[in-house]
Amino acid sequence: MERLDKLLASQGMLSRREVKELITKGRVTIDGTVEKHPERKVTGEEQIVVAGELLRVQHPLPLMLHKPQGVVSAARDARDKTVLELVPPEYRRKELFPAGRLDKDTTGLMILTDDGALAHEILAPKKHVPKRYRVTIDIPMTEEMVHRFAEGIELKDGRCRPAELTIESEDTGVVTLREGRYHQIKRMFGCCGAAVTGLHRLSMGALRLDDTLAPGECRPLSEEEISLLRQQHLPE
């Protein structure tokens, strides 16, 4: 059960203020009866008519977020702003959580979802969904690094799966990982004597970050994009 005003605002068509106005002005009916109380509890199964239009309750969609710097990817944090706080009210869902982590200073593609099964498919180590990052380091990229990444770098918590490093310019490259350990890319470059100065996730599975999304913006994923996310090949 959910408050009528929250349910209506969560559908993405109207702001909280507009919803409240429509309800208090008697423009909303539930199962044929005018309802003027925004706090009335509903399940979403009722026949709700808003300003003459029958409401079709939208089921929650996973979101694509362009994570900006300085925001943490935890669901809750006492000190720092979290990625969930970036989600506009119309896309907020009670159970929304980030599917996977990025460091506070990492930018780029994040998926927020309330679908545990989808999150599992993206994150489960056995699925090997590739995650691709653009990385900038403080020293020149070398063929030796490319080779060591391909062999599998030995970290404190074990050997990494082979990773691809493609050098793009003197200090920038693209890394593809098929696992996700804590600070993995920073630690891998650390083993090569380099510090990461910029890290941006470009894609997950076959899904790329929509480059029309500014840092801090998010939008729902289409069905097609959700299926790209589950795929183990890289984006075209």
Torsions phi, psi for 126 (to 5 deg): -65, -25
138 is catalytic: no
The least distance separating ligand URA from the CB of residue 212, rounded to whole angstroms, comes to: 23
The least distance separating ligand URA from the CB of residue 133, rounded to whole angstroms, comes to: 6
Residues 6+ apart with CB under 8 A from 137: 171, 172, 173, 189, 194, 195, 196, 197
Q: Scanning residues 137 to 196, which ones bind ligand URA (CB under 6 A)?
A: 183-186
* Residue pointed to by tokens 């790209």: 228
The least distance separating ligand URA from the CB of residue 236, rounded to whole angstroms, comes to: 23
Q: Scanning residues 104 to 143, which ones bind ligand URA (CB under 6 A)?
A: 106
Q: Does 219 sit near ligand URA (CB under 6 A)? A: no
Residues 6+ apart with CB under 8 A from 42: 1, 2, 3, 4, 7, 30, 48
Task: Tell me the C-alpha distance between 216 and 89, whole Å.
Answer: 14
Catalytic residue among 5, 31, 77, 103: 103
Q: Choose among 147, 204, 208: nearest CA to 179.
A: 204
Residue 160 or 221: the one with the smaller Cβ distance to ligand URA is 160
- What are the start-end ranges of the H helices in the chain? 4-9, 16-24, 116-123, 143-151, 184-191, 223-229
Residue 95 or 182: the one with the smaller Cβ distance to ligand URA is 182
Residue 92 or 178: the one with the smaller Cβ distance to ligand URA is 178
8 A C-beta contact, residue 106 and residue 196: no
* Residue pointed to by tokens 């362009």: 66
Residue 7 or 109: the one with the smaller Cβ distance to ligand URA is 109
* 61, 102, 110, 204: which one binds ligand URA (CB under 6 A): 102
- Number of residues interacting with ligand URA: please give it, by CB under 6 A: 8
The stretch among 29-37, 44-52, 76-84, 100-108 that binds ligand URA (CB under 6 A) is 100-108
Binding site for ligand URA (CB under 6 A): 102-103, 106, 183-186, 199
